[in-house]
Chain A
Amino acid sequence: MTRYIFRRLLQAIPTLIGVSILSFILVNAAPGDPVTMRTFGDTRMTEEARQILRRQLGLDQHPIVQYFVWMTGLSVQRGDQVAVMTRPGKPCGYVGGIGVTVCDGGGGILRGDLGVSLDTKQPVWDRIVERMAATLELGIVSLALSLLIGVPLGVLSAVKHGSLFDNLVRFFAVVFRAVPIFWMGLLLIFVFSVMLGWLPTGGRQTVSLTQTFNLGDRLRHLILPASVLAFGGIAGFSRIMRTETLEVLHTDYIRTAQAKGLSPGNVWFVHAFRNALIPLMTVMGPAVVGVLGGAVVVETIFAWPGMGRLTVNAAFQQDYPVVLGAGMFFAVLTIIGYTLSDIFYAVVDPRVRFD
């Protein structure tokens, strides 16, 4: 077991390196640079000043060098530059063999430092942590909604299979699985915010001068995005629970339970339900990953100040460190999600071997 987890973690390393290279190439493929973009309208700024700024940000170096610096926090200069480069907190050393000076500027992805945002000058980590709470709030509420609604729907529709209720549930499951999240979001905004005026069109709370915490206000803002994100989950969970419950209901031990005279409620919810839950556990990992991906969409539509919106806006503004840092963060979360679900699968089903 420990060995299996260890191996899965080892496997994640090349994936993460791949993700870092891929995102770095993509971000660097953009024509123009962030400095020009940010100072374009500034007529007082000379090209030399821009050049200095680029230099400070390390944007004048070769992309491969930039990647190396971003990953390790070590910068490299040709020749013996120890005397020139060394500053407080930035020790340098000369590697005679290859004739370069290596300076440790601190940071680097490998040391868990995601760099500094070009726009706010804050560390990328701080910006992510600041937005995490909003994304978690949205994600947890919508996952809870999809489980609380999807699971009972699936079980009931299996118990009453063939009935009108069952057919309705199945029909809506197909529709909700197919209808894009963002479409659902636009529709709900149109109906509940624009036509009826019941709920706000977006944001996490009403903007006011005091910005005091108001639970009612927060909940009103949460209803639409959380429901939109939950629809897909409700459809998925009800489908899985229906199939699994149907399967379990045809097993011998259920027949035994019925034969010994247990009440139908007891049979369905104590015996059948628990066994049907096992496969549900194994899809939780992908479900969490799905919620993360969906959050990118929902946060953008509802102006929800979470990580997804942070990343999307950073991509629009070419705030490279934020895009790259948040991208890596998403990738790590996704890999953890899949790995946990694989481990869970092996734990609940002893037939799955760890090799």
Chain B
Amino acid sequence: MTTSAQTKSQQVQPKPGEPAVATPDVADALSRPARSLWRDAWSRLLHNKAAVAGAIVILFFMFVAIFAPVLAPHNPLELNSGKGFLPPMWVERSSTGKAGVPEFILGTDNLGRDVLSRVIYGARVSMVVGFIPTIIIVFIGVSMGLVAGYWGGATDNLLMRLTDIVYAFPDLLFFIIVMTALRATALGQFLNGLFLLFVALALVNWVGVARLVRGQVLTLKERDFVLASQAVGASHFRIMVRHILPNSLSVIIVAMAFLIPGAIITEAILGYLGLGLRPSTDPADIFITSWGSMLLEGQTAINNQPWILLAPAISVALVVLSFNFLGDGLRDALDPRLRE
């Protein structure tokens, strides 16, 4: 690219005595093809090893979640009587005096259910809990933030007060109160309790996104391009959606990358407290067990079969770390000024 531009510019070197006027085609040859912000960010992201590794791990777990029925070596609900608390296959003698068998790679739980298969099915819940509430949160948060930041006044005031209220409460306490209070209602039974978890996550987290977007809008709406579109008669809606929103997208994307692991952690801890997904016994269910519920089962059986605890714990940590690395990478890629 550079070499061809050089040769071309050398060809049209002005002869001595002639004025050095650049003809249009020279200017074209000298300028590089336009690179959009997104293309730049993409290439920066690809150069960030931690972010790429994170993305690969996330894709792996998404693959596992989608193809769980194919990948799981056993039915995660199948009870193998007499084969409870088997250690992982590489252990020759566990604390209960049993030897691992290759049939159950990570061993079995107290009812003889295959730990590996349950971890594989658990990935479904974590992925769904990570993505679905985040989509709802971003949708509500962005619309509220745009409106509050753009119009200001009473809407803005209301939003700020709402944020104060939600921030004044420790998150976990809020989740626990919502989950204990509404667990027995129809809402709490829907999708084995997953739906209520979505609602709780959305209720707490949308305000953070709204506040973030509001801050962006407040600075962006003073910029000249907004003034310019106002001058040519663009509607308020158009200015918000076509001019301000695209300019806040990078902030929103980074926020999403950190919301997802937050939601996964919340599910895990609520599951651990016995407030998350209700473990299912119905093979027709898509969501059979979650990593959080397994952590709870694992802690009670910590002496007999530590892998019931370790396998979901390692999975949660891997997924959460990966999302954080990806989030850090996205932030650096989308706004190089923020790079440390």
Contact = CB atoms under 8 A, between A and B. Distances in A.
Interface stretch (B6-14, B73-81, B132-140, B261-269): B261-269
Nearest to A292: B170
B172 A186 contact: no
B170 A296 contact: yes
A220 interface: no
Contacts of A327: 169, 173, 177
B254 to A, nearest CB: 14
A344 interface: no
Q: Dominant SS at the B interface?
A: helix
B162 interface: yes
A340 to B, nearest CB: 14
Interface size of B as a range: 35 or more
Nearest to B310: A190
Given A178-B320, A180-B265, A330 B306 contact: no
A182 interface: yes
B228 interface: no
A311 B303 CA distance: 29
Contacts of A23: 169, 177
Given A23-B177, A29-B182, A32-B184, A174 B328 contact: yes
A316 B180 CA distance: 6
Which one of A16, A30, A194, A338 has the greatest number of beta carbons of chain B within 10 Å?
A30
Interface string A30-70: 11100000000000000000000000000000000000000
A334 B169 contact: yes
A187 interface: yes
B309 A190 contact: yes
Q: Which size class do A's interface residues fall under?
A: 35 or more
B201 to A, nearest CB: 15
Contact of A27 (B170, B181, B317): B181
A243 B269 contact: no
B26 interface: no
A309 B250 CA distance: 39
A303 B162 CA distance: 33
B317 A179 contact: yes
B167 A334 contact: yes
B321 A179 contact: yes
A335 interface: yes
A174 B322 CA distance: 11
A277 interface: no
Interface string B178-198: 101110110000000000000
A296 B162 contact: no
20 contacts: A14-B161, A15-B168, A23-B169, A26-B181, A30-B180, A30-B182, A177-B324, A180-B268, A186-B299, A190-B302, A194-B302, A194-B306, A296-B172, A312-B173, A312-B176, A315-B177, A318-B180, A327-B173, A334-B168, A334-B169
Interface of A: 11, 14-16, 18-19, 22-23, 26-27, 29-32, 174-175, 177-180, 182-183, 186-187, 190, 194, 243, 292-293, 296-297, 300, 308, 311-312, 315-316, 318, 323, 327, 330-331, 334-335, 338
Interface of B: 161-162, 164-165, 167-173, 176-178, 180-182, 184-185, 261, 265, 268-269, 272-273, 295, 299, 302-303, 306, 309-310, 313, 316-317, 320-321, 324-325, 328, 340
Given A19-B168, A19-B169, 13 more contacts: A15-B168, A29-B182, A174-B328, A175-B321, A178-B325, A183-B265, A186-B299, A190-B302, A308-B170, A330-B173, A334-B169, A334-B170, A335-B168
